[in-house]
């Protein structure tokens, strides 16, 4: 079984050039360069990317002992190797194996962090590599900077056999997902859940239960998934983030987020629990 092992000291290097089998995680704007294999995607190998004229790349870790490197490029040639294509990152996550998903998330978040933190926030000097951990170090004042994650809650609000789904203005037309939002400074997770749901829908909830979490590198979120039960109020969209929402039963769901997202996973679990099994033809009740 493939496994991803993060590099404890990721640095920009040219080591990838010495290994033609190294996996390269290449981002170009909102897209990734991937190799399509039936209904799955995989990372291209270093030997396949001569046309990109890459120099240094960020060491990310190892997949099954194979080194992985990440890089951002301004453009990708129109003519690519057979089976290679550019894929929207948000769509790619649902077609990557679990270990490739982990590698891709780490790659995207570290590249974003380094792009946004080139200079010391204390003295303004350019930052340098850390020799011993995942950090950037100021060579002048010694200040150290580590990658920052933005925790966010995503909640399946249920009312009996119904689930509350909403259309966010940023979603594709028709797609309905769960209520979600970032945890603010000074808040607990539970406080963030109550606030976000009340602000966006006008209802109150209780019996909050943790389900699971997922890295969501857009650009640096950690999504924390929960369920909560409806208590009171009339569900109405806030008109700012949400422009539509409603209560839906498992057998009449609207279009939902694509596979690969924690939202899809949670909604599918609700559907599994609340879909009555079909009786075989002729079976007596």
What's the CATH number where 101 sits?
Answer: 3.90.79
User: Which CATH number belongs to the domain containing residue 194 in this structure?
Assistant: 3.90.79.10
Instruction: Tell me what pLDDT residue 281 has.
Output: 37
Neighbouring-strand partners of residue 227: 156, 209
pTM above 0.75, yes or no: yes
Q: How many CB atoms lie within 10 A of CB 170?
A: 7
Length of the chain in terms of residues written: 285
116, 136, 171 — which closes off a domain? 116
Give the CA distances from residue 130 to residues 9, 46, 81, 109, 114, in Å, rounded to whole numbers and listed in that order.
7, 25, 36, 17, 12
Q: What is the pLDDT along the chain (285 residues), one digit of tens a residue?
A: 558 999 999 999 999 999 999 999 999 999 999 998 777 899 999 999 988 889 999 999 999 899 999 999 998 887 777 788 899 998 888 889 999 999 999 999 999 999 999 999 999 999 999 999 999 999 999 999 999 999 999 999 999 999 999 999 988 899 999 999 999 999 999 999 999 999 999 999 999 999 999 999 999 999 999 999 999 999 999 999 999 999 999 999 999 998 889 999 999 999 999 987 654 434 443
Residues 136, 156, single domain; the answer is no
Cα 129 → chain centroid: 26
What is the extent of the structural domain holding 167? 150-274
Residues 124, 171, single domain; the answer is no
Residues 41, 64, single domain; the answer is yes
97, 116, 135 — which closes off a domain? 116
Instruction: Tell me what pLDDT residue 82 has.
Output: 75
Residue at 138 is within a domain: yes
Residues 164, 257, single domain; the answer is yes
Residues 142, 201, single domain; the answer is no
Distance from C-alpha of 42 to C-alpha of 26, rounded to nearest angstrom: 11
User: 94-106 b/e with 16+ CB inside 10 Å = b?
Assistant: ebbeebbbbbbbb
Residue at 265 is within a domain: yes
Distance from C-alpha of 127 to C-alpha of 145, rounded to nearest angstrom: 9
- The count of structural domains within the chain is 3
Residues 169, 140, single domain; the answer is no
Residues 128, 199, single domain; the answer is no
Nearest to 80 by CA among 21, 28, 126, 8: 28
Residues 40, 9, single domain; the answer is yes
* Predicted confidence (pLDDT) per residue in 102-148, tens digit: 999 999 999 999 999 999 999 999 999 999 999 999 999 999 999 99
Instruction: Tell me what pLDDT residue 240 has.
Output: 94
Instruction: Tell me what pLDDT residue 278 has.
Output: 55
Nearest to 45 by CA among 63, 79, 66, 20: 20
Residues 84, 170, single domain; the answer is no
Residues 123, 185, single domain; the answer is no
């Amino acid at each position: 079984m493939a496994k991803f092992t993060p590099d404890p000291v990721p640095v920009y290097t040219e080591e990838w050039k010495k290994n033609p089998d190294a996996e390269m995680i290449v981002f170009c704007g909102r897209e990734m360069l991937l190799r399509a294999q039936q209904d799955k995607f995989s990372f291209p190998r270093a030997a396949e990317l001569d046309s990109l004229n890459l120099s240094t790349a960020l060491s990310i870790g190892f997949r099954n002992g194979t080194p992985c490197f990440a890089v951002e490029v301004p453009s990708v040639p129109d003519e690519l190797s057979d089976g290679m294509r550019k894929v929207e990152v948000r769509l790619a996550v649902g077609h990557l194996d679990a270990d490739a998903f982990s590698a891709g998330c780490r790659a995207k978040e570290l590249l974003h962090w380094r792009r946004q933190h080139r200079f010391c926030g204390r003295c303004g000097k350019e930052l340098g590599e850390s020799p011993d951990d995942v950090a950037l170090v100021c060579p002048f004042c010694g200040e150290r900077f580590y990658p920052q994650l933005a925790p966010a809650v995503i909640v399946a609000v249920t009312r009996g056999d119904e689930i509350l789904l909403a259309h966010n203005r940023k979603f594709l037309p028709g797609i309905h997902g769960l209520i979600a939002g970032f945890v603010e400074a000074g808040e607990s997770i539970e406080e963030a859940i109550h606030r976000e749901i009340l602000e966006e829908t006008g209802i109150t909830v209780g019996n909050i239960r943790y389900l699971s979490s997922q890295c969501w590198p857009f650009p640096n979120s950690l999504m924390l998934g929960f369920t909560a039960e409806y208590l009171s109020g009339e569900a109405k969209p806030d008109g700012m983030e949400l422009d539509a929402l409603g209560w839906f039963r498992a057998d009449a769901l609207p279009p939902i987020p694509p596979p690969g997202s924690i939202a899809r996973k949670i909604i599918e679990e609700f559907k599994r629990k609340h879909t009555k099994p079909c009786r075989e033809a002729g079976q007596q009740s």
